[in-house]
Amino acid sequence: MRQRIKAAKRRARAVFRPRAAKMASNPTNTTTTTITNPGPPEAESEIDEEFVTESITYPRFMIPNLFTGPSPVVDVLETHTSNLQQETVKVCLPFLSAEDEKTKYNIHGVPNLYRKSHITFLRRSIGPMPAGFITADASRPWFLYWALTGLSIMGDDVSDLRQAVVDTARSMQNESGGFGGGGGQRSHLATTYAVVLSLAMVGGEEAFEVIDRRALWKWLSRLKQPDGGFQVCVGGEEDIRGAYTASVVITLLNLPLDLTQESPAYEADGSMNLLSGVPDYVRRCQTYEGGISGQPDSEAHGAYAFCALACLALLDDPRRIIPKYLDLPRLISWLSSRQYAPEAGFSGRTNKLVDGCYSHWVGGCFPLIEACLRPLDDSPPPAGDDATTPNPPRKPRLPPASESLFNREGLIRYILCCCQDQSRRGGLRDKPGKMSDSYHTCYVLSGLSSAQHQWDLTAPAPTLAAGAGDPVWTVLPYVDDGGVQVYEQEDLVRPIHPVYAIPQRSQEGMREYFLGKEGF
Amino acid sequence: MPLQGKAAQKPKTPSTDASPSNPLPATAPTAQPAPAITVAERTQQRTDESRPFEAVRRKSGLAALPDEDRAAWYACHFARSLPAKRTRLPPKFQRELWRAVNDAGLPLRPLPRTYSWGIDRSGQDVGRYPTPRFDERFAKRTRLTELVLQSKAFRERRDRLRSGSAEAGDIITDSDIQEERLRRSEMAKLKSELYGVVPEGGFATDPEWDDVLPLPVEEPEGALATISYPAEYATAISYLRAVMANKEYSARSLRLTETIIDMNPAHYTVWLYRASILLAMALPIPAELAWLNAVALEHLKNYQIWHHRHLLIDQHHPTLASDPAAAAALAASERDFLAQILAHDTKNYHVWSYRSYLVAKLNLFADPAELRAVDVLIDDDVRNNSAWSHRFFLVFSDPAASTPGAHATEHDPAVPQATVDREVAYAQEKIALAPQNQSPWNYLRGVLVKGGRELASVEGFAEGFVTGLEGKSGGKEDVRSTHALDLLAEIYAEKGDRERADLCLRRLGEKWDRIRVGYWEWRRKCLEV
């Protein structure tokens, strides 16, 4: 009996596949939304006669053929890049087509989020690590950040980790300011960012007071460069990660903006401060493709796009500052190009492969982009300080997006179908065939959160220079008008701050604590 | 007090003798080689020898002993207990007692009834060793003691020299250090064999590092994400911390950084320290570059390497200012090396970022070899977007033919029109090979904008990849490149033909690039503005 059902399934698939391809090339049959009527397959009348009896018993999932067949335009010429791309599609398709008989799918052919095993995976990731992990010796703070962020997104309370995070953070702080990868390592902006955000997530005065803000401020002054950017550590490279992570730390901890005299960017006339020139530096990283590179003159890359947008959004109202410093239409075009079918996840660069971590780096750009397309309430269109506006206001205002600028259903499908390690190991991954790790677990979940939520800026934000409050971000679960929700309601994860990449409550808690402090 | 004296050489009948002159137990009937006995058995024999009447007494009581033996036993027993009794005996009595003891020839101090030989490195009781194996172990221990003493003498001599309190003859030559090194490695080997002590990293046993007090990393209790470091790594790091704290810039600290980089190239701190050693000691940069080449090939994914290389070139370049030939040679050797490393991963982000730095630093924008190197990669894989990006940088960021600081997506009047023509032709030629390849389309659009050309200047070219859009020209709709359709939408909008622009965008969302429908719909809204 069981055997016969299996055979029927296989046969059904063999026949349906070419049909899917045919549908893709048939303009009248293609729809941009999912197939909405449940039950028997749509367009049943088109199915070959001999096939009808079988297809009635066939447990069909409602998966748009967009995700189960090749894309309609494929070149003949084979190169290394296209071979890798084809291999990746081949690896992903069985997962996207709900073909694994051991997996439980919903009617949309999407499995549940294996929340419990991912929580176990992240909890274990901050426990003791075996000797094979010595190459992670300089990134231990990241393990904290990835785990705490991922756990918070999944709704797992992390306050039980407070004391351990506090003790660990203390052991990584240097007297000369900032946090290194571990005891005895020099301070680095990436690890400092990871530690500060981890402390914000466990919260509480003891956690906040670990940070020696005066020393941190002095150290940041030494990293500040005359061109507006930041070195990631004293004597280290200058890149856009430095600009983003420094801006996060400065704003979250409410640090003074003055530079010490030791700063390479110090000017006796006081014309430079910690945040001067940061937007110009970010602007220099935009490339001809529209995306953002790690440092000026390199290739556009997804991770740096998020750093650039989030960095700008920290310095001023994103609706004003992002269009002012970046060529927004080109950037949106480039970001949108990162999503390919049928995989439906994001790639990091033109002609590179899909990778779950870009669910955050690229996916996380869209809340910021969508926010800056919506008009500022009541307030007149941003005037800008004309003389210094790099993008002259000759361009017409861009309209808000009526529906989502990226394919949320596709991203959610890629995440739930392709990125989950379904074994007892748990965790999320780059793509099928790769091992899960805490980096991917964090950023894939963060991307899932972006895809499931809709962010809005409800009040105009005065600039930092004016010293007033923060932009007010509000969030609701995203509802696709007339569309379907392909994930189960229980798999809705928590929202995550679109700029600070931690829960909003954690960000507010830390920011408020330091706003209330006078001096160091 | 003579406690054994000649008595030991006059054994009483029931005793056995295990002294070297007569190794066989008295009970052994022949002179055959002794059967292999264990150390514990031999000890038992000796214990029994030291208590000749013990067995009989235990079994049948003192009364069973012959009178003479019984008297001897009493005498010995009494003599043994004397020190504890603190009794002053008359001298005569003492003399009589000791004579009796001597005549009895019994060992005055019997060996303890139980004796532990301890356990060896694998947890085995040493007492169970066959005697030859035990003797071998004993010889090793003797040797180790000897070495420890010699090593101690070396350290003391060294300390005296360091503290300035040297005595006559206190010198340490290179051969002394070499000898000490050998000695320590022999000691480490012996310790490992005897006691299972894991040999420490080279630093702890290297006499060159004697003066450094390592600073081990101490994790607080309950710390998160701790790593159980291999002993060798932990030792090296503790020495690194010590020399960094002292700001020591020396040949040995340079070697130390190399050891650590080999184990963990992602340790950014050690790279920064290595760079400061090189600077402080003014070491030759070319040698360092050569070393770095090998490291880079071994650790292809690592990126600290590339920042280090950046620092080296920053340091080295000014010295070549007056020597164009040397600068050209550097450029050529760097290019060779980059080709080698890109062969492993043609899109390695950090390698390409370094390459753009190098071009700017050595002003290689107009170097035909650089453009050719990129061409080779594009010819090899026309979808290599990193190579396309680098080409754009070479052509449009050349300070001799562009405006410094011009934005990447804006018109730059300083770019020669001939260059624009050449690059447009180049991109079109590559698009023809694989029209759905986005890299040259992005490039083409970028070139047009830089050159201040209307997008419509490539309208005919783009239309070549799209036919019969929604049956407009009667034929079947065919799109060989969604990027062409995207560009056409812009071109039509630029020309004010909103309807055709809208059609392109609608067809992209409906059919040709459905995954991006949200974006295409937004683009349609943009047309209305």
pLDDT at site B171: 83
What is the pLDDT confidence band of residue A391, given thresholds at 50, 70 and 90?
low
Test B528 with A399 for CB contact under 8 angstroms.
Answer: yes
| Confidence check: pLDDT of B59 > 90 | no
Domain boundary among B199, B229, B250: B199
pLDDT at site B101: 79
Tell me which DSSP letter residue A382 carries: P
Test A185 with B269 for CB contact under 8 angstroms.
Answer: yes
User: Which whole number is the average pLDDT over A468-494?
Assistant: 85
| Confidence check: pLDDT of A47 > 90 | no
* Cα B176 to Cα B456: distance, rounded to the nearest angstrom: 82
Test A405 with B518 for CB contact under 8 angstroms.
Answer: yes
Test B272 with A183 for CB contact under 8 angstroms.
Answer: no
User: Which whole number is the average pLDDT over A277-302?
Assistant: 97
Secondary structure (3-state) at A197: helix
B273 part of a folded domain: no
Residue type for B482, please? T
Distance of CA B442 to the CA centre of its chain: 43
Percent of chain B with pLDDT over 90: 57
Q: Which of B264, B360, B511 sits opposite A72 (nearest CB)?
A: B511
* Cα B491 to Cα B500: distance, rounded to the nearest angstrom: 10
pLDDT at site A59: 54
pLDDT at site B12: 41
pLDDT at site A377: 55
Domains contained in chain B, number: 3
Q: At what angle do helices B438-450 and B417-433 cross, to 10 degrees?
A: 160
Q: Report whether A420 contacts A491 (CB < 8 A).
A: no
* Cα B90 to Cα B87: distance, rounded to the nearest angstrom: 10
Asked if residue B96 and residue B10 are part of one domain, the reply reads yes
Range with lowest mean pLDDT among A190-204, A476-490, B37-51, B424-438: B37-51
Q: Report whether A405 contacts B518 (CB < 8 A).
A: yes
Instruction: Write the burial class of residue B93 (CB in 10 Å: 0-12 exposed, 13-18 middle, 19+ buried).
Output: exposed
Please indicate whether residue A453 is annotated as part of the active site.
Answer: no
Test B446 with A288 for CB contact under 8 angstroms.
Answer: yes
Range with lowest mean pLDDT among A403-407, A449-453, B381-385, B521-525: A403-407
Please indicate whether residue A2 is annotated as part of the active site.
Answer: no
Tell me which DSSP letter residue B512 carries: I
Tell me which DSSP letter residue B509 carries: I
- Could you report the per-residue pLDDT of B69-87, keeping only the tens digit for each? 787 778 877 777 777 777 7
pLDDT at site B73: 79
Cβ-based contacts of B496 with chain A (< 8 Å)? none
A274 contacts: CB under 8 Å, gap ≥ 6: A220, A221, A224, A246, A250, A255, A257, A258, A259
User: Which whole number is the average pLDDT over B219-227?
Assistant: 92
B111 part of a folded domain: no
> Apex CA A307: angle with CA A302 and CA A311, to 5°?
150
pLDDT at site A157: 96
User: Which whole number is the average pLDDT over A476-500?
Assistant: 91
* Cα B22 to Cα A280: distance, rounded to the nearest angstrom: 97
What is the pLDDT confidence band of residue B9, given thresholds at 50, 70 and 90?
very low
**Tokens for B390?**
């680098």
pLDDT at site A155: 97
Range with lowest mean pLDDT among A5-14, A498-507, B476-485: A5-14
What is the pLDDT confidence band of residue A334, given thresholds at 50, 70 and 90?
very high
pLDDT at site A27: 38
Q: Report whether A372 contacts A460 (CB < 8 A).
A: no
Percent of chain B with pLDDT over 70: 91
Specify whether the backbone of A38 is left (phi greater than 0), alpha (psi in -120 to 50) or beta: beta
Top residue of B218, B516, B527, B529 to mutate, by most chain A CBs within 10 Å, is B516
- The residue assigned the tokens 């880079």 is B296
- The residue assigned the tokens 């967009």 is A66
Give the residue, A374 or A54, on which the prediction is more confident. Answer: A374
User: Which whole number is the average pLDDT over A179-203?
Assistant: 96
Asked if residue B99 and residue B9 are part of one domain, the reply reads yes
Q: Report whether B190 contacts B147 (CB < 8 A).
A: yes
Mean pLDDT, all residues of chain B? 87
Checking DSSP bridges between strand B466-467 and strand B478-479, what pairing results, if any? antiparallel
Asked if residue B44 and residue B88 are part of one domain, the reply reads yes
| Confidence check: pLDDT of B89 > 90 | no
User: Which whole number is the average pLDDT over B145-158?
Assistant: 89
* Cα B236 to Cα B147: distance, rounded to the nearest angstrom: 25
Instruction: Write the burial class of residue A180 (CB in 10 Å: 0-12 exposed, 13-18 middle, 19+ buried).
Output: buried
| Confidence check: pLDDT of B447 > 60 | yes
Give the residue, B458 or B204, on which the prediction is more confident. Answer: B458
B142 part of a folded domain: yes
User: Which whole number is the average pLDDT over A319-344?
Assistant: 96
Q: Which of A24, A185, A287 sits opposite B389 (nearest CB)?
A: A287
Test B516 with A407 for CB contact under 8 angstroms.
Answer: yes
Percent of chain A with pLDDT over 90: 74
B270 part of a folded domain: no
Please indicate whether residue A385 is annotated as part of the active site.
Answer: no
Nearest residue to A220 via CA among A194, A247, A200: A247
| Confidence check: pLDDT of B37 > 90 | no
**Tokens for B215?**
């600073």
Range with lowest mean pLDDT among A227-241, A306-320, B92-106, B329-343: B92-106
* Cα A368 to Cα A371: distance, rounded to the nearest angstrom: 5
What is the pLDDT confidence band of residue A518, given thresholds at 50, 70 and 90?
confident
Asked if residue B134 and residue B45 are part of one domain, the reply reads no
| Confidence check: pLDDT of A290 > 80 | yes
pLDDT at site B218: 87
A465 contacts: CB under 8 Å, gap ≥ 6: none
Catalytic residue among A19, A118, A188, A301: A301
User: Which whole number is the average pLDDT over A254-266?
Assistant: 96
B288 part of a folded domain: no
* Cα A327 to Cα A324: distance, rounded to the nearest angstrom: 8
B474 part of a folded domain: yes
Shortest CA distance from A373: residue in chain B: B522
What is the pLDDT confidence band of residue A394, given thresholds at 50, 70 and 90?
very low
Instruction: Print the domain residue range for B165.
Output: 127-199
pLDDT at site A472: 85
* Cα A82 to Cα A177: distance, rounded to the nearest angstrom: 47
| Confidence check: pLDDT of B123 > 70 | yes
Domain boundary among B199, B228, B260: B199
pLDDT at site A441: 98
- The residue assigned the tokens 């003055």 is A258
pLDDT at site A378: 44
Shortest CA distance from B484: residue in chain A: A73
Q: Residue B401 half-sphere exposure, CB side, CA atoms within 13 Å? A: 18
| Confidence check: pLDDT of A241 > 90 | yes
pLDDT at site B199: 62
Please indicate whether residue A430 is annotated as part of the active site.
Answer: yes
User: Which whole number is the average pLDDT over A141-167?
Assistant: 97
The answer, for A399 touching chain B at a CB cutoff of 8 Å, is: yes
Please indicate whether residue A301 is annotated as part of the active site.
Answer: yes
User: Which whole number is the average pLDDT over A396-411?
Assistant: 87
- The residue assigned the tokens 């899909």 is A354
Which helix (H) or strand (E) covers residue A386, if one does? none
| Confidence check: pLDDT of B155 > 90 | no
Q: Report whether A140 contacts A108 (CB < 8 A).
A: no
| 3-state SS track over B251-288 | HHHHHHHHHHHHHCCCCHHHHHHHHHHHHHHCCCHHHH
User: Which whole number is the average pLDDT over B14-40?
Assistant: 52
B513 part of a folded domain: yes
Q: Torsion angle of alpha carbons A104, A106, A109, A112, nearest 10°?
A: -60
- In B101-141, the DSSP E strands lie at none
Test A233 with B272 for CB contact under 8 angstroms.
Answer: yes
Domain boundary among B199, B224, B240: B199
Q: Domains of chain A: which residue ranges?
A: 2-96, 115-515
Nearest residue to A59 via CA among A20, A31, A99, A21: A99
| Confidence check: pLDDT of B126 > 60 | yes
Shortest CA distance from A294: residue in chain B: B353
Please indicate whether residue A494 is annotated as part of the active site.
Answer: no
pLDDT at site A376: 66
Yes or no: domain A115-515 corresponds to CATH 1.50.10.20: yes
